[in-house]
Structure 1
Amino acid sequence: RESIRYLVQHNMVDVLVTTAGGVEEDLIKCLAPTYIGDFSLRGRDLRQSGINR
């Protein structure tokens, strides 16, 4: 993750191609903070707060 984050933050890559869900999840986690949510939270309320499920 740290290597990917460094390369992206320093504009050293033009595109990233992922082939597995694990890699995609790692990419998401290194580009923005992640939160542990609850299935009972309403999607509408989350979106209004700028949070994606």
Structure 2
Amino acid sequence: MPANPRAALEAYGREKVREGMQRAAEIARDCWNDPQCEADAEYIPNAIRAEIETLK
């Protein structure tokens, strides 16, 4: 067990947030020049939500 479990849990949470933000940025980047993305303002948020659902 870590010396400070709370600090370990907070560090884990920060890492997961970082990973999630990185994945969201990848989704946005992949969509950048896609005509479907330009036509649908909700495409990126929906793609991110779909990705989140795969993690549950």
* TM-score band w.r.t. shorter chain: under 0.3
Higher relative contact order (CA 8 A, sep 6+): 1
**TM score, norm. by length of structure 2:** 0.23
The structure whose residues are more often helix, as a share, is 2
